[in-house]
Structure 1
Amino acid sequence: MASALDTCSFAVLGNSDCSANTTFIHLYNCSRDTSNHLSSYQCSEKIPDKCLQFYDIPEALLILYRSGIFSIDHTTLKLNICQAHRDALGIHWRRNKHSCCYPNHNEKSKAKPDRGTTLSLSKQYWLKTRQTIPRLCKKCVTELRKDLCSVDINFEKEIEIFYQVQESSVDLKDIRTGCLTAEEDHECQDMELGNDACISSQGGGLNEFSSQFSQPSQQSDYTQASSQDWMDTQLTPKDRLNSAMKILSKDYEPLKHQLCLSWSTISKSSKSYYQKKAQEAIFLILNIIAPGQETILLNSIETNKIEIDSTNKCIIEAYNNAANSRTQTQILSLIVNSFTKSELRNMIPGVTVSRIDAARKHAMITGPGNIINPPKIYRMKLTRPKISHFIDYILNPLFSSIVGFGQTVLKLSTNDKLTVPKVVRNLIHARIINSYQTYCLETGFSSFSKASLYRILKVCNASKQKALQGLDNTSAAGMGAIDNLTKVVTKLEAYGLRNEDVNKLKEMLQLVNQFLKFEYKLHLRMDDQCADHCTPFALSDSADLNFAAQCNHSHTTSCNKCQLVDSCVDIVETAFSNLEIPQTLSDEISYELENGARYVLEWKRHLLRTVHQDGARNDVLSDLKDNQGLLIMDWGMKFLPFIYRETQSDFFGKKGISWHFSCLVLRSPIDREKLDLFCYVHILEDGSQGWFSIANILVHLLHEFKSDKPLLEELFLKSDNAACYHCTNLISFIQQCNKDFPIKIKQYNFSEAQAGKDLCDSKTGSCRLHIFKYANEGHDILNTNDMKTALESHGGVKGTQACIVSVNQEVEPKIRTKIPGISTFNNFTFLDDGIIVKKAYNVGSGKKIGNGTLTDKNLEVERVYNLKINDPFPGAHEVGTVSLNQHHVDENTTNESVANEVSETVGNDHISETDSFFSCPDPSCQKIFAKCFNLERHLAIGNHSYVTNSCTSMDEAVNMYASKCETLRESNNLLVSTLTSDTELNINSNSEDRMGWAIKNKRKSTRFSLQVKDYLIQICEACDKTGKRPDCGSLSEEIKKACNENGEKLFKKEEWLSSTQIKGFIASYLSRKSKLSDHDTTPPPSKKQSVSRNECVLEEVTMEDDEKLNEIVTALETDDYNENMNNMVDNVFLAINIQS
């Protein structure tokens, strides 16, 4: 802006002649870029802690510092300056001396000044000496910095103060409107010149020019061509714009003032003024360039403008902050193809063309933003013969077993996949490798290192054999029989059996084991032409047509693997009969063969009955009506009290708390394809796990259901085969009181014995885990109230509610009703005039039992129901849901197809099976779930998936491993066909005569011999004196091998006992002894008296005594455990005392 004054405020410096100048501007209007000028003289002000980054020095601040004015206030910035002094002190300043100006410079030194003085260094020197120095050599600069290290200058603060004063140097009217007239500007200057306020206290005023600038610079070489050129160059940008617009249009109103403040700080009226002037100027130029098409041209220009959105801004910022050039190239490749090179160079200051080309190459080859990784170099030093040698070794049946059911997917380094049969490794990798290296050492074979062997085992993926707990007795006995038969075959090798035959028999037994464990359930159907697979045919009783089904097909086909199961023991026995073996060993082998045949066949029967009985639940759920429900009941494992900080004394002698789970499944009223789940937990404060407690809990549940769900009219009951459920008392109670119940019970279906894993088991695990989580938060779970509080904490378990009850066992009535053969009946239908019993679900018409034999006055509801509710159910709660396949599950549908349907509706609705944590409790079911409610839904529907599962490199090892696995499977199939060729005709010819082969048969009662009883009683009495419990398994082997003084065996083969029989005898003996001691009678009679008075019989234990026997056996095991722990503690304390 032009000043009203006619003199230059810097004329006193005398470094330039400004007498001819007539136009002046205020110092705060000097805003040229000084970066290139300062960089050329190597005097740019560096930003601390930032590499190659410098401050932007305002031109006005540079002029003040070169003038020796280090005070920044309104007065100094209002000074007038002519063009000559502006050039001489600003960006056109030149060195006019060739010697260093530092006062302490060595005169003998010929060093020349190579740089100007930085602003901060100049001010530091002035503050200390009140002098200015324009030129310095390198050596003097170093010395000067050392001398001035005590003078601290915050240059960033100096620049900030400058801008603050510059903004406040405008009149109040300019702040309000954003524009000033020349007269107003002059008035503002007159007001501000009297202001003594100074923002920076480090510096002098204008009156100190002469003293501060002790060494003034000479006149600049800058000259003017003519006075007219000088006047043109001195025009302000505003004057030039007005002159140009006046030439273009006589109607253009000149621009009064330039915008000096930030756009965001001016008023609305000022913004409107500047927008209007800008629009007039733009359209005036567009009208000259393209008359009548101003808008079109303007739009075409706007589309070519570079628009930087927030994402691109972040990318540019990341590029500027990148640590190295490689990272910058990766970041730049994200946007390099979206802009031209010139646009990128405008957007990102400092970016080069070569960097842009490198980023485009990166984006084309590796992809935008992808990390550049150096290529991996593989060194293949594993030879094929050595790989083949190791793979042959690990596939030895001693270390690996090829499973006939299931698959494993091996992945190559090229991401190709190979499907191989499922393999189970019987040893851990470390032991396999140690054994292999020992074998190589003995045979002189040079093998790989341990690391390479571990890598081969890792890429040749296989499942690992694990110890299992909680197996049912029948399955465990069958697997144990296979192991015993394998040991028998090993013994036969020592007596002349050829090595080829031994390996063949062992492979056969292993095939039988894998087939029954994994594959047999897949073969079972409701209508199959194979007698081993047709479940109604296998469960039909030929002696009673009421329990027999009439198949509408013939059973003419056969299954080679099923035939192998039936004949495997006979094949081993044939090999045994062809050898000459001592009589003592011959009896043991014969005994093992007899037991093996019985246990393997019973295992096969058990599996068939398990699959068939689960069909009852499937049919009920598929045909469930709106007024019907399925109630599944089971006892949870007793909960032991849990203390957050438990001492050793609190750990022993705990008494478990009984809790009962009841899961109700209803069809959802909102969506008929879904089922609603309700779980009710009864925590028993008093009472035992017997039929009386079950009857009270059942009555309580029926009243709760009726009050909460008035539309419910009929119930289907389901439970496992425990004695408290499957007993005459409970069945009679339901039949007699069914007419008085608020909800009628229509059916009661039992699972196969020890195969009743269901929805309640899953709920037990969820509730137990919920309680433990609550206890880990610092709470003690000591009683029933604590359990209920824990179950309801944090919203409780979804769809589950609990109550605390007490059952007075003293008022349990004595019942005289009888149902002959109830242990053989598994399905009960309740009618008004009696019940219909069936041995197997939907096999035969069943047998009807009238009410006459089921009625007892002690079974009335008033006499049985005495449940005391200490803490009721909380009431309304969240409901769980289950998806139900809308298609009806036909009884002829195969298990495989049903499993596929469940997989679609249950397993794939939420997550994939690879990220799962909850597996189905059925050991043969392959379903795995990520969430507990998916498992509950699967168990509620009950359609288990017995299908082939897929599991998830040294590519050579994987390929060889896969091919050998396939070869082994083919050899197994060949072995099956070879071994069964001799027995196929005999079995097929008698297939129709095998009706009912899977029915559970009662074993005949066999008395123990007196000699065996005497032997066991002696052991019991010896153990009673010493306090140690006998090992029943060791006793079973001891009875086989016990000899007299002459070396003859004490017991014949017919007198040998299994570990289960010995355990039952000991439990019975201790029970009788305990009853005698409770009545204060004399101790048990002597051995001979005991034998004569008490007849011990080897027979199947009745279901009514099963619970008591289990309690006795549990007590024995607990005593044995406590005794071992006490002995261990005594030994520890004894060792401590000896050391001390």
Structure 2
Amino acid sequence: MFQLLYEDNCHEDTEQSDKTELKITDTILQLYCEAENNALKRQLLSLLSLPNAHSKSKLQKLIPGLTKWEIDQSRAHAASHGAGSLPGPVEPGYRHRMNKEKLEHALSFFLDPKFHQICSYGTKDLHCDNGQTVTIPQVVRTTCHSSLLQMYKSYCSETGFVPLSDSTLYKILSTCSASKRTNLTGLDNIATDGAADVDDLIKMCDQLKGLGSETNTVANRTTALKSLKMYLKSEYKFSVGLSSGCQDHCLKFALSHPTNVLLQEECDHSHEEICGKCNILNEINSALFNEIQNIRTSDIAKELALTAEKALEKISDWKAHILRTQNQEEGISIVRYDFSEPQAGKSYCDAKIAHKRSKLRMFVSSGENVTTPFDMKKAIMDGSDVAGCQCAVVEVDRKNQTMTSHCIKGITNINNLAFEGDDIIAWHSFSIGIGIKIKREDVLKSEQFDTGLIILSDFEEPSKNYCVISHITKNCSVTPTSIFHCSELGCNQQFSSYQILQEHILLDRHVQEKTLTYDALRHHCSELCNSNLFISKQLVQIGRDHHTLVKNSSVEKLQQGWALKKTRKFARFSSKVKDFLHTVFQEGEESGRKAIPVEVSQRMKSL
């Protein structure tokens, strides 16, 4: 309104113009005196406080009680937003009261890869308090919050560090949210089988109680098994080391091949210490079989003995799997191939492919089919596409293929490879022994060169571009304000003129954008998940107060190389078992009542 009055005033004569200007000034002064809001007063005063309009002394005469600070604020408002313009939205101010050193210390522990595993399927959305949504691959936290917090406090007490409060630590864990799964089938089958077999042994103890075992003995054994399960899930991985005096914890002893000198590593220390938690498995083993031998019914005793033998074997494999995983995580080098322990979490490619699998599920849910590679490409490129992804369908040109197959003896046990000239050096475990040398001519009977690819469907640019374009409003007389943005990274300042922007950059008065503390945590967690940088800087030793190592020579000694992967024997079902399963299936087809798999497996044990 005032702008229009001034424009009309320009077309009138000088005398009439002065009268109009005085009239407008009186109107603004009247509105200023009647205004109760300080922001509105500053907005009105900005119309009069421009240096070319009124001086400070003149304004103080027009408005009694007006201070110079208020005049400076109104002039700053006119420079930033324009004279008489509405002020922009007030940026919320955030106060970071949390101690940064303690926060970084807690994050480095909580985001350790030993407590997380990235799935190769599914994604998860982290909702920030400012309304933003951050998408990350599905991450599984393998330790519950209470146990993780207890281990962190134990670690802090050992290092003499004063941590944040328990409530703040729980808030950090809930902010960097992850799936909490007890069933890790498909992600870590060895850990799943081991944990399930501990539960089977607990059920067996209850069954032995019904067969005459003492109540106190069964209760103590059940408590010991639960303690062993929790120990293997959380604390055992932090107890292993290259120079441990316990055979259950020494990496060199557990991973040295018992017969092959090239795959052995001599220990420069003795193994006279015994871990009470690890020894639970040996105590349970002897105690269970002693009680099973006292059962009078031979069929029940035979079934329980078979169940106990299989369960104890799976638990031992779980323990060895944890030890091998910790050793293989140390093998990271560019000049070598160091493969992770199988079933110990998924790789970076699996984490990135989670977004593509989500697109495939959405494509199938819309009524389409994915039966060919061309359908898969169509599904991935459908809709809004996947950021940074393009697809092509190719196949290997078999015309130039000269080699059909080749094999390396015992390749399933090889986890580490290094290339020296034409020779290949292989290890079963990282940095254990000098390695086995494999000649190139022994592996490559015939040389295979690049075969080339046949492109069936080449890369193509997205057919649609999704963006939001704001339409220009015509016949708009409003002058844009704050259109000049600071180019400094992280500075969120905006200015109405280029001159003020130059002064801001010259004086280096950058204002970094502030966010909520927990939003910053979510973004930090997202960066780690999307780049798969869950890398542990050091092996944290935790829990030594909970299971003190003692010297004891009466306990049965372990064999060298007890943690190496054992050769698996694949046995086919006998004709008796096949006939039994066929009969059970036919009974279900005829009666319509399908057999329960657990009951069928129990009946198979007696065959």
TM-score range, shorter chain: 0.5 to 0.7
Secondary structure of the equivalent of 2:262? helix
Contact 1:788-1:802 at 8 Å conserved across structures? yes
Deviation of the 1:820 alpha carbon: 1.9
Deviation of the 1:601 alpha carbon: 0.6
Deviation of the 1:421 alpha carbon: 13
Please tell me whether residue 751 in structure 1 is matched to residue 340 in structure 2. Answer: yes
Q: Distance in 1 between matches of 2:152 and 2:563?
A: 36
Change (3 A) 1:822 1:523: same
Provide the residue aligned with 1:478 in structure 2: 194
Contact 1:404-1:514 at 8 Å conserved across structures? no
CA deviation string 1:1056-1091 (max 9, x = no partner): xxxxxxxxxxxxxxxxxxxxxxxxxxxxxxxxxxxx
Change (3 A) 1:871 1:303: same
Give the % identical residues: 24
Please tell me whether residue 589 in structure 1 is matched to residue 304 in structure 2. Answer: yes
Please tell me whether residue 985 in structure 1 is matched to residue 553 in structure 2. Answer: yes
Contact 1:566-1:601 at 8 Å conserved across structures? no
Structure with larger RCO (C-alpha < 8 A, sep 6+): 2
Change (3 A) 1:984 1:799: farther
**Superposed, which structure 2 residues align to 1:606-621 within 5 Å?**
606-616=321-331, 619-620=332-333
Q: Distance in 2 between matches of 1:1021 and 1:176?
A: 106
Provide the residue aligned with 1:838 in structure 2: 427
Provide the residue aligned with 1:870 in structure 2: 456
Contact 2:336-2:417 at 8 Å conserved across structures? yes
Please tell me whether residue 175 in structure 1 is matched to residue 16 in structure 2. Answer: yes
**Superposed, which structure 2 residues align to 1:422-433 within 5 Å?**
none
1:508 pairs, out of 203, 224, 228, with: 224
Contact 2:424-2:439 at 8 Å conserved across structures? yes
> What's the C-alpha RMSD, in Å, of the aligned pairs?
5.2
Contact 1:825-1:838 at 8 Å conserved across structures? yes
Contact 1:546-1:844 at 8 Å conserved across structures? yes
**Superposed, which structure 2 residues align to 1:792-807 within 5 Å?**
797=386, 800-807=389-396
Contact 1:485-1:593 at 8 Å conserved across structures? yes
Gapped regions of structure 2 (runs ≥ 5): 28-53, 78-143, 154-163, 171-178, 462-514
Please tell me whether residue 860 in structure 1 is matched to residue 448 in structure 2. Answer: yes
Deviation of the 1:824 alpha carbon: 1.8
2:150 pairs, out of 407, 410, 424, with: 407
Provide the residue aligned with 1:537 in structure 2: 253
Q: Distance in 2 between matches of 1:409 and 1:533?
A: 21
Please tell me whether residue 547 in structure 1 is matched to residue 263 in structure 2. Answer: yes
Change (3 A) 1:263 1:936: closer
Provide the residue aligned with 2:528 in structure 1: 934
Q: Distance in 2 between matches of 1:543 and 1:1011?
A: 39
Deviation of the 1:849 alpha carbon: 1.9
Deviation of the 1:768 alpha carbon: 3.1
Contact 1:404-1:515 at 8 Å conserved across structures? no
Residue type of the alignment partner of 2:228: V
CA deviation string 1:506-552 (max 9, x = no partner): 11111111111122112222333322222232110020111111233
Deviation of the 1:1001 alpha carbon: 1.5
Please tell me whether residue 943 in structure 1 is matched to residue 508 in structure 2. Answer: no
Contact 2:272-2:552 at 8 Å conserved across structures? no
Residue type of the alignment partner of 1:999: L
Residue type of the alignment partner of 2:316: L
Change (3 A) 1:819 1:176: closer
Gapped regions of structure 1 (runs ≥ 5): 1-163, 180-258, 266-277, 284-296, 314-400, 411-415, 423-462, 625-745, 876-909, 919-928, 950-968, 1042-1050, 1052-1140
CA deviation string 1:287-342 (max 9, x = no partner): xxxxxxxxxx99xx98868948669x9xxxxxxxxxxxxxxxxxxxxxxxxxxxxx
Contact 1:409-1:420 at 8 Å conserved across structures? no
Secondary structure of the equivalent of 2:329? helix
Contact 2:238-2:541 at 8 Å conserved across structures? no
Larger Rg: 1
CA deviation string 1:250-275 (max 9, x = no partner): xxxxxxxxx9744489xxxxxxxxxx
Contact 2:402-2:448 at 8 Å conserved across structures? no
Please tell me whether residue 1034 in structure 1 is matched to residue 602 in structure 2. Answer: no
Q: Distance in 2 between matches of 1:405 and 1:568?
A: 27
Q: Distance in 1 between matches of 2:169 and 2:284?
A: 23
1:760 pairs, out of 349, 362, 366, with: 349
Secondary structure of the equivalent of 1:990? coil
Residue type of the alignment partner of 2:529: L
Change (3 A) 1:824 1:1039: same
Q: Distance in 2 between matches of 1:1030 and 1:829?
A: 52
Q: Distance in 1 between matches of 2:586 and 2:397?
A: 37
Residue type of the alignment partner of 1:476: T
Provide the residue aligned with 1:114 in structure 2: none
2:414 pairs, out of 818, 821, 825, with: 825
**Superposed, which structure 2 residues align to 1:1089-1128 within 5 Å?**
none
Deviation of the 1:762 alpha carbon: 0.9
Contact 2:359-2:379 at 8 Å conserved across structures? yes
Q: Distance in 2 between matches of 1:810 and 1:571?
A: 64
Residue type of the alignment partner of 1:867: L
